[in-house]
Amino acid sequence: MERFLMSKLVAWKGKSRRKPLILNGARQVGKTWLLKEFGRTQFKNVAYVNLDGNPRMCEQFELGYDIPRIISAIQFETGEAVSEGGTLIVLDEIQACPKALTSLKYFCEDAPGHAVAAAGSLLGITVHEGSGYPVGKVDAFDLHPLHFREFLVATGNRALCDLIDSGDADLMNAFSSKFVPLLRQYYYVGGMPEAVSSFLDRGLLEDAREVQLEILRGYERDISKHLGRTETEYALAAWRSVPTHLGRENKKFVFSHIAQGARARNYRSGITWLSRAGIATLVRRISKPGIPLRPYADDTAFKLFLVDVGLLGAMAQLGKETVVGGSEIFEEFKGSLTEQYVCQQLVSDCGLVPYYWSAENSSGKIDFLVQGPNSVFAVEAKAGENLRSKSLRAFKDSHPNIKSVRFSLSGYREQDWMRSVPLYAMSNTDLWG
């Protein structure tokens, strides 16, 4: 299964001042497979160490940061001879051994010729617990579920992926009838690698759903494993409420929708954990579209999305007939799958941080705001082909310096105040204007 991040890993290998690499990402997004595949194809051999439940290797890092001794231990553990430049050392589940995380600083300073890559699924939490994160001594990449272009390649539709990359709007419009069914398929299967692989094995959507449900159960086990009893209760309640929140017209996260009388202070630490673990995406409200956007963000008002559109469908118990059977899916569930999809693509394929805007005393709202190199884009996500955009137009009139873009099932077209871009082509930001 091709992952587009591979090209960045190859570029990392060739850097003259390469630092140890940390690959971040939620559980089950394919970090281990990608690093092993990278080592297999780009190095002579791979010395792979899983630190989770491995007291023998954890002890070696606890003894100190003598890098030659640690390399010797890695050779004994893996049975692989470790050579500079020829071996990729992989330290998996590095969050299970904080001293191993700290050791990356010493690999950087004392053994820069060795290629070391670490993977962790809860590093967003580990780092904030003061575990000695090697700031400035590592390179880092984020791995997400397969985005839509990767899904196209995985399903044997590389030509359609190349068409999106080409930016040929007229040709994309002509082949919309090929893109839209695959987009619906992606809404159901999502981008979790095991779910995609399971679907591809027999071409059965229900095979992907079985995997999705197991991943969801695994995420809930993680919550219970890493949080105290009371925090677990609140975090699980917030997690399970995501489909309900996204199913409402106003998708802002409202604590009283979890339980009557629920108070924000009880749930905030749990929601922070979900976000730092990478299994949920926190989209904060901003007060105005200034550059940069972050200083205008309100940490008390936010929307909460899942890491993957397929997992949202599984959690909401949406059947395959509903999702892939007809265009009504893009009107049902109040556009929740579409907004989840757009949020996910903004993060995973566009490399952007999404925010949103809503008026305090009116119904006006903008689904997402993102900051490009020189502009702020107001983004509207439309589930179908109903292209009325009153809120977007009003926002553009009030903030003429922003650029506005609408993602929908309609074909690409340019207007004097907005670009309309097909949902399946949103990764090509050149089309945005």
* pLDDT bucket at 15, cuts 50 / 70 / 90: very high
Number of Cβ atoms within 10 Å of the Cβ of 433 = 15
Q: What pLDDT, on a 0 to 100 scale, did the predictor assign at position 128? A: 44
pLDDT at 334 over 70: no
* pLDDT bucket at 41, cuts 50 / 70 / 90: very high
Q: What pLDDT, on a 0 to 100 scale, did the predictor assign at position 332? A: 55
pLDDT at 428 over 90: yes
Q: What pLDDT, on a 0 to 100 scale, did the predictor assign at position 120? A: 86
Q: What pLDDT, on a 0 to 100 scale, did the predictor assign at position 247? A: 86
Q: What pLDDT, on a 0 to 100 scale, did the predictor assign at position 191? A: 98
Task: Give the mean pLDDT of 99-120.
Answer: 96
Q: What pLDDT, on a 0 to 100 scale, did the predictor assign at position 331? A: 58
Q: What pLDDT, on a 0 to 100 scale, did the predictor assign at position 330? A: 47
Alpha carbon distance, N-terminus to C-terminus of the chain? 32
Q: What pLDDT, on a 0 to 100 scale, did the predictor assign at position 130? A: 46
Q: What pLDDT, on a 0 to 100 scale, did the predictor assign at position 131? A: 54
All residues at 6 or more sequence positions from 97 whose CB lies less than 8 Å from its CB, including other chains:
51, 54, 57, 58, 61
Q: What pLDDT, on a 0 to 100 scale, did the predictor assign at position 328? A: 57
Give pLDDT tens digits for 357-367: 998 766 689 99
* Residue 234 φ then ψ, to 5°: -70, -40
Measure Cα distances from 220 to 118, 217, 379 in Å: 24, 5, 32
Task: Give the mean pLDDT of 98-110.
Answer: 95
DSSP 8-state code for residue 394:
H
* Residue 374 φ then ψ, to 5°: -130, 0
Q: Which amino acid is at 92?
A: D
Cβ distance 336 to 247 under 8 Å? yes
Q: What pLDDT, on a 0 to 100 scale, did the predictor assign at position 125? A: 61
Task: Give the mean pLDDT of 221-238.
Answer: 93
Q: What pLDDT, on a 0 to 100 scale, did the predictor assign at position 218? A: 96
Task: Give the mean pLDDT of 384-407.
Answer: 86
Write out the E strands in 266-375.
Answer: 280-286, 297-306, 355-358, 365-371
Per the listing, tokens 């001293």 go with 99
Q: What pLDDT, on a 0 to 100 scale, did the predictor assign at position 18? A: 95
pLDDT at 260 over 60: yes
Compute the mean pLDDT over every residue in the chain, rounded to the nearest whole number: 92
Least Cα distance to 219 among 207, 230, 206, 232 occurs for: 232
- Retrieve residue 390's tokens: 């009153």
Q: What pLDDT, on a 0 to 100 scale, did the predictor assign at position 414? A: 94
Q: What pLDDT, on a 0 to 100 scale, did the predictor assign at position 396? A: 94
Q: What pLDDT, on a 0 to 100 scale, did the predictor assign at position 320? A: 86
Percentage of the chain with pLDDT > 90? 81
* pLDDT bucket at 375, cuts 50 / 70 / 90: very high
Q: Which domains does the chain have, with CATH numbers?
A: 6-142 (3.40.50.300), 148-432 (no CATH)
pLDDT at 145 over 90: yes
Q: Please tell me which residue, 225 or 212, carries the higher pLDDT value.
A: 212
Q: What pLDDT, on a 0 to 100 scale, did the predictor assign at position 265? A: 87
pLDDT at 160 over 70: yes
Distance CA 393, CA 399 (A): 10
* pLDDT bucket at 271, cuts 50 / 70 / 90: very high
Q: Please tell me which residue, 142 or 332, carries the higher pLDDT value.
A: 142
Bridge partners (DSSP) listed for residue 140:
22
Least Cα distance to 248 among 333, 364, 355 occurs for: 333
Task: Give the mean pLDDT of 141-145.
Answer: 97
- The sign of the CA dihedral 325, 340, 191, 26 is negative
Q: What pLDDT, on a 0 to 100 scale, did the predictor assign at position 362? A: 66
Task: Give the mean pLDDT of 223-234.
Answer: 92
* pLDDT bucket at 129, cuts 50 / 70 / 90: very low
Q: What pLDDT, on a 0 to 100 scale, did the predictor assign at position 126? A: 55
pLDDT at 199 over 90: yes
Write down the pTM of the prediction: 0.93
